[in-house]
């Protein structure tokens, strides 16, 4: 199979800063078309990456261009119909998190992808961060973990919730997904959700989440997230047999092995790059997606797997299994 022919629907800030350059750098992919409603942004992006075809209507692009995979990068309220159209057209699909506005949308994507035998990926980039992966590997080399924690706080009081959606679904889902990646599937969930210092626009959304999760491997997981805190702060812990990893996500990991002291790893050390697109895992997730298409394997964060993360998000949002 030759290079994977990639089209983009969306040429906004996130797509332009991390996804276009990651595809352009991949030697097994070729950018063949781009679509965006903003004609100035469309021309600028097509010129920057020498994309031969540009469109303001994605259906025309799907009909006219020989495309293998489509990156659909836009806010979640616009995703569902476009993703379903791409899958119906037989295209592999990459999209950012959250995978739709509701878990039911994610489920429909997963079912459509499975029916079509299509490869998909949701951009839970923490799974692909070199520092996070190194921390996980250091613990797992001594056996199954016993405990994990995901902590993700922000100051959002003045801005209110994204897109009138649950904050747990939009970005705290990164921490939920990483806990799943560390420990497997949840068998029991206890959770407390609340709102504090509620500002206009927050009345229908929670600002604080705490959950205790028992995973199928026997490990305990802790999730804590506050959206009216003093700053953005993201951290993970993973503990195993005489080993602990503390990740100041996503670029710095402290590995402690009993009797051996600390090993400090950074994204720059692990990748040789200071570019956040590389150290945050964005480049790696694209490389993984393209490789899976060529090899015929399911990506780690395919729609089917993302559905499990969203189902766990729902359980936490509901206050746990007894909620």
Region 88-115 average pLDDT: 97
Rounded to an integer, the average pLDDT of 111-119 is 98
Reading the block at residue 316, the tokens are 């936490």
Model confidence at 160, in pLDDT bands (50, 70, 90)?
A: confident
Total tally of structural domains belonging to the chain: 2
DSSP 77: G
Please say if the pLDDT value at position 4 is more than 70. yes
What would the pLDDT profile of 179-218 be if each residue is shown by its tens digit?
999 999 999 999 999 999 987 778 778 899 999 999 999 9
Q: Is residue 183 part of a domain?
A: yes
Q: Model pTM? A: 0.96
Is residue 323 pLDDT above 70, yes or no? Answer: no
**Whether residues 88 and 138 fall in one domain:** no
Over residues 164-189, the mean pLDDT reads: 95
**162 pLDDT band (50/70/90 cuts)?**
confident
Instruction: Tokens for 90, please give them.
Output: 């037989």
Nearest-angstrom CA–CA distance, 175 and 173: 5
Q: Looking at residue 5, what is its pLDDT?
A: 98
- Give domain status of residue 293, yes or no: no
Can you give the pLDDT at residue 208?
95
Domain boundary among 124, 158, 192: 124
DSSP H/E element including 48: helix 39-48
pLDDT digits (tens, 9 = 90+) for 233-248: 999 999 999 999 999 9
The secondary structure of residue 3, as a DSSP letter, is P
For residues 188 and 62, membership in a common domain is answered with: no
Boundaries of domain holding 45: 4-124
pLDDT tens digits, 8-29 = 999 999 999 999 999 999 999 9
Do 224 and 150 have their domain in common? yes
Let me know whether 92 and 185 are in one domain. no
- Check whether residue 162 and residue 256 sit in a common domain: yes
* Residue 22 parent element (H or E): helix 20-25
Mean residue pLDDT across the chain: 96
Q: Give the mean model confidence (pLDDT) for residues 118-146.
A: 97
The residue among 69, 102, 124 that closes a domain is: 124
Q: How far is CA 17 from CA 82, 184, 254, 257, in A?
A: 22, 32, 28, 37
Question: In whole angstroms, how far apart are CA 68 and each of 6, 90, 91, 179, 259?
Answer: 6, 8, 6, 32, 51
């Amino acid at each position: 199979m030759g290079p994977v022919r990639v089209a983009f629907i969306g040429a906004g800030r996130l797509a332009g800063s991390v996804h276009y350059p990651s595809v352009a750098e991949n030697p097994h992919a070729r950018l063949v078309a781009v679509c965006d409603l903003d004609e100035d942004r469309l021309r600028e992006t097509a010129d920057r990456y020498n994309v031969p075809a540009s469109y303001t209507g994605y259906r025309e692009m799907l009909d006219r261009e020989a495309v293998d995979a489509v990156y659909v990068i836009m806010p979640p309220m616009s995703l569902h119909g476009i993703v379903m159209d791409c899958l119906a057209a037989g295209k592999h699909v990459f999209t950012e998190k959250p995978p739709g506005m509701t878990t039911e949308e994610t489920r429909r994507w997963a079912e459509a992808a499975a029916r079509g035998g299509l490869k998909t990926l949701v951009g839970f980039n923490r799974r692909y961060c070199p520092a996070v992966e190194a921390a996980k590997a250091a613990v797992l080399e001594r056996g199954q973990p016993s405990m994990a924690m995901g902590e993700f706080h922000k100051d959002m009081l003045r801005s209110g919730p994204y897109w009138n959606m649950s904050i747990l679904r939009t970005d705290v889902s990164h921490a939920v997904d990483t806990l799943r990646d560390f420990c497997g599937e949840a068998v029991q969930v206890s959770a407390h959700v609340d709102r504090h210092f509620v500002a206009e626009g927050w009345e229908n959304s929670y600002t604080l989440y705490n959950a205790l999760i028992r995973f199928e491997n026997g490990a305990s997981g802790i999730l804590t997230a506050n959206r009216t805190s003093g700053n953005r702060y993201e951290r993970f812990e993973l503990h195993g047999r005489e080993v602990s990893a503390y990740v100041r996500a996503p670029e710095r990991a402290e590995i402690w092995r009993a009797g051996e002291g600390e090993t400090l790893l950074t994204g720059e050390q692990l990748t040789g790059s200071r570019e956040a697109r590389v150290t945050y895992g964005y480049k790696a997730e694209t490389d993984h997606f393209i490789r899976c298409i060529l090899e015929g394997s399911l990506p780690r964060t395919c729609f089917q797997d993302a559905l499990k993360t969203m189902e766990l998000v729902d359980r936490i949002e509901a206050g746990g299994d007894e909620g």
